[in-house]
Structure 1
Amino acid sequence: MRKITLLFTLITPLMWAQNYTEYATGSATDLNTNPQFGVCLMGGASENDNAMIWFLEQADGGDVVVLRASGSDGYNNYMYSELGVAINSVTTFVFNNEAGAIDPYVLQKVENAEAIWFAGGDQFNYVSFFKDNAMEDALNNFINVKGGVIGGTSAGMAILGSAYFSAENGTVTNQEALTNPYNNQMTLGYNDFLNIPYLENVITDTHYDDPDRRGRHSAFLARYATDTNSRAFGIACNEYTSVCIDAFGIARVYGDYPNYEEHAFFLQSNCTTDFMPETCVNGQPLTWNQGGEALKVAKIAGTQSGMNYIDLNSWSDEGGVIWQNWFAANGVFSATSATNPACSLLTPIDREMTEVYVGPNPFHDKIAIETDLARYDVRLYDIFGKQIASYENLSELDTPGLSSGLYVLHITSENEQRIFKLVKE
């Protein structure tokens, strides 16, 4: 009886005008900690405990917000008390419509969070409820200004790449995608929703235990390459497999291999000058062959320790990888063995940046900025993403009116952006 009483004490469901249901577990008082950036991608079945522990540890004991469009409070006790990681609270919002997602109370909870998790379900609900509105802005501020940890499973993983399959007209099969990559069910979005570091030009996919997913995922990338005239990238997980990406771009794979065939897959257009599909047009079968090397794919076994990895700065430096070639000829998908493509000179984003010094940290009133950049913008934000100051080519920022706390400074030039977390004493 005591256990049942505690459950009802910790998990409190609240409904507001039928726009959403809230389930709250833990402290009702927000705790401001110092989260670490990270991305956790899960393949769609039950969560991998070790990957979820990694996700929660990035939150530094703070508050977790779970966003979903179906289900209820399944994550609350699991995250709060079953994994052995001390966190302040878990709040789940189950949305019925866009109005719930942009409710000011919900947005404040998202801004205050240190970790955000997207559950499974129908990914088009997430696109419909969260895209092109205040929730999209709040999520991107959380990721790129506050620098918190974000993740998702199944549909929640499917929306995290800068490009994504929206499933607006339902799912699409391998045969449908390969037979006509522009069929009505191939609904893709490009660089217009979430902006997550290391997932630029990336389309994710899940439930990869079904080999049918590999052909349609290749068709997604063929469409992206054709429509944007740029190299395409993909990350996919088997159902019980997870990928955790840290602030340095190291993507570690968690699972229970060799007890089970649990793998993640990292796809990239071949790093050659001519990487485009030969035939990717409406009404015709896909041919993306390029001599049988259209896509270079790193297949990585997930282990309990996450020892196997790939570096997303280069997409070629790796440990524990089996390389494969994937290609399609006249709508027929094939895979063969391959070697490390060593594509470091043609990575999706060139991350070799100009040296920039910002300090001291912690600071009292003045922040010095030293750089060789000829022209740059300086923007200072508070921890909730509110812009406090904006300047050009500033060498010293004076902040006598600011209260003590955590701030985020952006240094932006034509070709790069640097983000610094600073503490005012």
Structure 2
Amino acid sequence: MKSFYYLFLFFSCYSFSQSYIEYHTGNTADLTVTPSSGVCLMGGASESDEAMVWFLNKANGGDVVVLRASGSDGYNNYFYTDLGVTINSVRTFVINTEAGATNAYVLDKIEKAEAIWFAGGDQYDYVSFFKDNAVEAALNNFINVKQGVIGGTSAGMAILGSSYFDAENGTVTNAQALSNPYHNRVSLGYNDFLNVPFLENVITDTHYDDPDRRSRHTVFLARFATDNNARSFGIACNEYTAVCIDNDGKSYVYGDYPNYEEHAFFLQTNCNLADYLPENCTTGNPLHWNKSGEAVKVYKVPGMTTGENYFDLSDWTSGSGGSWQNWYVNNGSFTTSASVNLDCSALSVFENELETIKLFPNPFNNTITIAQNKPIIKIECFDTLGRIIPLNSNEETINTNALASGIYFFKVSKEKSFRIFKMVKE
């Protein structure tokens, strides 16, 4: 009986009114350590061990939480023992309802984790269970305040861009998307869920071994650009490929190239075009986004077991080991061609301009002054739980009368770039 008791402590499975199931491996007591921030994006098949080692090392020996809407405990032993990285525990929650996701016990474990991993499945389950509730706040707090490492595969990767294909109406084929970019299956969310560093205005896609994914992904970017009147960006992976984004924006690509064609793809609307919007992106009509054959610029990077090849998301122009391509759509027909290195000097100029933006005083009382030499697109305020706080602001000041004393994070954005200011109200 005693041996059964200890086995139960080591590997246990709990259910809570059928709203979630828990699988636990490792130590039952939480270990408080300081993680390193980062993001790991996996293409959807079996994991790259090297990328998963990168992910677990970011946890600094702490606790890993796996969130999934189907399946069971497949990650527990893989993370805890198979990769040779010492961590305190792995706790998998199979979430069946929003009530399960927002259960106080689940929220507590998310808050105390050093690493969070989203499994595959149906991304609309994740959107339904985790968005616009306490889980969303807890996840954004984990990402932006605690600055833990987060990642996901397949559906789990799909939800990590600030904009995302939510699959509310099922998956969408390239033919459906190209023939009508507003087909009801092209269901997208924009900047209303997770706020992950370096993934602003980014839509991810997975399973890129299917070449059709490239064209539907291009449609996603066309829709974002049209609907938001802003440049759009994308990151995609072949099934056995991973992109690991460090806290400086460098995205290291893991895979088994040249043994296999394992690549990551970094997409962006052409920054050299004053008018980058699609020529025709309207309901019921084929997408036409040509721009002289240069509508979308793509950096294709082979994944190595060493992760030595990379792309830099801090400027979206520099990288190592990859090659540039042009992608475009001519009246519903998708085409690719070779290209040359992209020069987004205008974006680099803006990066410097962001460094000149100041918010003061800090600590503040009822007003924050904005010092800037160029207009900004948006200012957002978050509390320490990651919740968005409404602001009354203009180009020169932010009225903070309504804020209680405490710590706040102000996110200043323009196009793809942003800065976060940590400030204290007295």
Common fold: TM-score over 0.5:
yes
How many Å apart are 1:30 and its aligned residue? 1.0
C-alpha distance in 1, partners of 2:129/2:206?
A: 21
1:225 aligns with 2:228: no
C-alpha distance in 2, partners of 1:21/1:220?
A: 34
- What CA deviation, in whole Å up to 9, does each residue of 1:239-297 have, x standing for no partner? 00000001000001000000100000000000121111001000000000000000000
Conserved in 1, the CA contact under 8 Å of 2:358 and 2:370?
no
Change in CA separation of 1:101 and 1:173 when aligned onto 2, cut-off 3 Å? same
Give the residue type in structure 1 aligned to 2:121: G
Change in CA separation of 1:11 and 1:349 when aligned onto 2, cut-off 3 Å? farther
Q: How does 1:371-386 map to 2 (within 5 A)?
A: 374-375=369-370
Change in CA separation of 1:29 and 1:165 when aligned onto 2, cut-off 3 Å? same
- Partner residue of 1:401? none
C-alpha distance in 2, partners of 1:414/1:283?
A: 33
Change in CA separation of 1:374 and 1:133 when aligned onto 2, cut-off 3 Å? closer
**What SS does structure 1 have at the residue aligned with 2:337?**
strand
How many Å apart are 1:27 and its aligned residue? 1.0
Give the residue type in structure 2 aligned to 1:253: V
Conserved in 1, the CA contact under 8 Å of 2:140 and 2:386?
no
Change in CA separation of 1:5 and 1:330 when aligned onto 2, cut-off 3 Å? farther
1:321 aligns with 2:322: yes
How many Å apart are 1:195 and its aligned residue? 0.6
Q: How does 1:188-207 map to 2 (within 5 A)?
A: 188-207=188-207
Alignment partner of 1:353 out of 352, 355, 359? 355
C-alpha distance in 2, partners of 1:412/1:223?
A: 25
Matched residue count: 394
How many Å apart are 1:75 and its aligned residue? 0.3
Q: How does 1:250-399 map to 2 (within 5 A)?
A: 250-271=250-271, 272-346=273-347, 350=351, 352-354=354-356, 374-375=369-370
- Partner residue of 1:245? 245
How many Å apart are 1:345 and its aligned residue? 2.1
How many Å apart are 1:162 and its aligned residue? 0.6
**What SS does structure 1 have at the residue aligned with 2:300?**
strand
**What SS does structure 2 have at the residue aligned with 1:353?**
helix
Give the residue type in structure 1 aligned to 2:303: G
How many Å apart are 1:8 and its aligned residue? 5.8
Conserved in 1, the CA contact under 8 Å of 2:118 and 2:157?
yes
Conserved in 2, the CA contact under 8 Å of 1:41 and 1:242?
yes
Conserved in 1, the CA contact under 8 Å of 2:48 and 2:241?
yes
Unpaired segments ≥5 residues, structure 2: 372-378, 389-396, 398-405
Change in CA separation of 1:74 and 1:314 when aligned onto 2, cut-off 3 Å? same
C-alpha distance in 2, partners of 1:210/1:31?
A: 42
Conserved in 2, the CA contact under 8 Å of 1:267 and 1:296?
yes
C-alpha distance in 2, partners of 1:148/1:296?
A: 31
- Partner residue of 2:62? 62
Change in CA separation of 1:7 and 1:55 when aligned onto 2, cut-off 3 Å? farther
C-alpha distance in 2, partners of 1:310/1:172?
A: 28
- Partner residue of 2:35? 35
**What SS does structure 2 have at the residue aligned with 1:74?**
coil
Conserved in 1, the CA contact under 8 Å of 2:33 and 2:60?
yes
How many Å apart are 1:342 and its aligned residue? 1.6
How many Å apart are 1:386 and its aligned residue? 10
How many Å apart are 1:313 and its aligned residue? 1.1
Q: How does 1:153-164 map to 2 (within 5 A)?
A: 153-164=153-164
Change in CA separation of 1:236 and 1:411 when aligned onto 2, cut-off 3 Å? closer
Change in CA separation of 1:105 and 1:213 when aligned onto 2, cut-off 3 Å? same
Q: How does 1:22-101 map to 2 (within 5 A)?
A: 22-101=22-101
- What CA deviation, in whole Å up to 9, does each residue of 1:104-148 have, x standing for no partner? 110011011111000000000000000011100100011011101
C-alpha distance in 2, partners of 1:196/1:44?
A: 20
Conserved in 1, the CA contact under 8 Å of 2:40 and 2:55?
yes
- Taking only the aligned residue pairs, the percentage that are identical comes to 60
Give the residue type in structure 1 aligned to 2:63: D
Conserved in 2, the CA contact under 8 Å of 1:120 and 1:156?
yes
Conserved in 2, the CA contact under 8 Å of 1:40 and 1:151?
yes
1:169 aligns with 2:169: yes
**What SS does structure 2 have at the residue aligned with 1:25?**
strand
TM-score by length of 2: 0.85
How many Å apart are 1:350 and its aligned residue? 3.6
C-alpha distance in 2, partners of 1:195/1:88?
A: 27
**What SS does structure 1 have at the residue aligned with 2:234?**
strand
**What SS does structure 1 have at the residue aligned with 2:355?**
coil
- What CA deviation, in whole Å up to 9, does each residue of 1:163-222 have, x standing for no partner? 100000000001100000001111000000001110000000000000010000000000
Give the residue type in structure 1 aligned to 2:185: Q
Give the residue type in structure 2 aligned to 1:276: L
